[in-house]
């Protein structure tokens, strides 16, 4: 019982430390929460993906990916392409004149938003490094790996719900024309910086 609780606590703390770091996925969830655009569904998708990846990492996928680096390379460049395109679209919205408030911004369909959520999540190698490789490797060494996995999933679930619902509650306070410029501008910078961080190692000479 004590070992299970200790493994759960370890998973909770390590999961929180890795998942709460600012990145493309968190920036996307925050932006959706501020717009109140299917933000609960977005949070649920992120929670589900994290839970599946954490479980897969702890119970074997981490070792598989370490043995086949080509899989991570394919994911890396797919992520660079997607994040770069998303950054361009966000920057275009930030500089435009027709998307400055929630009232005039066309509301996207749930399917479109959820597809974008899956892309931001699954085409981002940082997600695999955090959930599959790091959490997976640490969790596999715990006395109770299932307890560690549950703790990490709990941290992920709480974080995404707080991020989405908290941003949604702040939306009325932040509902000013300039806010949406800042939101889209910040998202554009975040997506571009993550894309560069993924691509830059390929241009460094050994």
**DSSP structure string for 150-178:** HHHHHHHHHHHHHHHHHHHHHHHHH-SHH
**pLDDT of res. 158:** 93
**pLDDT of res. 100:** 36
- pTM listed for this prediction: 0.69
Tokens of 149: 């996995």
B/e letters for 63-90, b = 16+ CB within 10 Å, e = fewer, are eebeeeeeeeeebbebbbebbbebbeeb
Does residue 204 sit in helix, strand or coil?
coil
Tokens of 141: 């060494």
**pLDDT of res. 73:** 74
Interatomic CA distance for residues 136 and 152, integer angstroms: 10
Q: Are 153 and 15 in contact (CB under 8 A)?
A: yes
- Digit-by-digit pLDDT tens for the chain (206 residues) are 666 788 888 888 878 877 776 577 888 888 888 888 899 999 999 999 999 999 888 887 666 666 777 766 776 687 678 778 878 887 887 787 544 344 445 678 888 999 999 988 888 777 887 788 778 777 877 788 889 899 999 999 999 998 898 888 876 765 565 666 776 787 778 768 767 876 887 777 65
Interatomic CA distance for residues 46 and 29, integer angstroms: 9
- What are the residue ranges spanned by the domains of the chain? 2-199
Interatomic CA distance for residues 158 and 58, integer angstroms: 20
Q: H-type helices in the chain, by residue range?
A: 2-19, 24-35, 39-56, 62-67, 69-95, 110-122, 125-127, 136-140, 145-174, 177-199
């Amino acid at each position: 019982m004590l070992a299970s609780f200790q493994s759960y606590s370890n998973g909770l703390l390590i999961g929180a430390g890795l998942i709460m770091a600012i990145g493309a996925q968190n920036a996307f969830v925050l932006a959706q929460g501020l717009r109140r655009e299917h933000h609960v569904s977005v949070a649920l998708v992120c929670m589900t993906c994290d839970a599946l990846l954490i479980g897969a990492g702890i119970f074997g996928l981490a070792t598989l990916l370490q043995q086949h680096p080509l899989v991570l390379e394919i994911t890396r460049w797919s992520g660079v392409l997607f994040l770069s395109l998303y950054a361009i679209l966000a920057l275009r919205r930030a500089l435009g004149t027709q998307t400055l408030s929630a009232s005039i911004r066309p509301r996207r369909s749930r399917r479109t938003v959820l597809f974008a959520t899956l892309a931001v999540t699954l085409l981002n190698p940082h997600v695999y490094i955090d959930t599959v490789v790091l959490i997976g490797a640490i969790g596999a060494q715990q006395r109770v790996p299932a307890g560690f996995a549950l703790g990490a999933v709990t941290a992920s679930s709480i974080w995404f719900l707080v991020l989405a619902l908290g941003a949604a509650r702040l939306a009325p306070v932040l509902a000013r024309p300039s806010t949406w410029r800042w939101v889209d501008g910040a998202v554009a910078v975040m997506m571009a910086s993550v894309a560069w961080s993924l691509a830059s190692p390929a241009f460094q000479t050994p």
